[in-house]
Amino acid sequence: MATVTLVSECAFDHPAERVYDFVSNPANWVKTYPGSKREDGLTSGKALKVGDRWTEEGPSGDHYSWEVATTERPTLWVCQTIGRLGHDGKGEGGYLGRIEIRYRFMRPGGDVTIFQRTYITETYDGAPPLPDIFFTSQNPKHAETYFAGIARELAKG
């Protein structure tokens, strides 16, 4: 198996619960993360729990099916893909592999929260390689845009 891991973090002047509630809601991904176009299957206004599933549409019309693996508000949230990566809207096609996203929330003091995002992509032995374009979403530059989007949205109240 081969693994690519991107870890990024940013400090926010908000309580951990507020940052957690915002970033762990995939409906907010389209507001903050480059390349996330749409989320389907979410229940608006309801906190996601372990086992909840949804589908994200990427920039090329590719789809990723996700499932919540861990919820430990306000310190840890983990989701992972299920099925093939980059499948079509019917769940067909795509690539063999797996993505896990881990959010950690640390409180150094006051209302400051350090939000750490770990994005892990795994490919399986013997599977065809993922196309290079697949890894553009893991460009570290996107983390800056993502964190700026979170700060903008949190500032709105």
Closest C-alpha among 138, 62, 57 to residue 101: 138
At position 126, the amino acid (one-letter code) is G
Q: For 113-143, what is each residue's pLDDT tens digit?
A: 999 999 999 999 999 888 887 787 788 888 9
Edge-to-edge order in the sheet of strand 98-109: 2-12, 112-123, 98-109, 76-87, 63-72, 53-57, 38-40
CA 22 – CA 115 distance, rounded (Å): 11
Residue 117's pLDDT is what?
Answer: 97
- Complete domains list, the chain, with CATH: 2-155 (3.30.530.20)
Q: Is the pTM of this model over 0.75?
A: yes
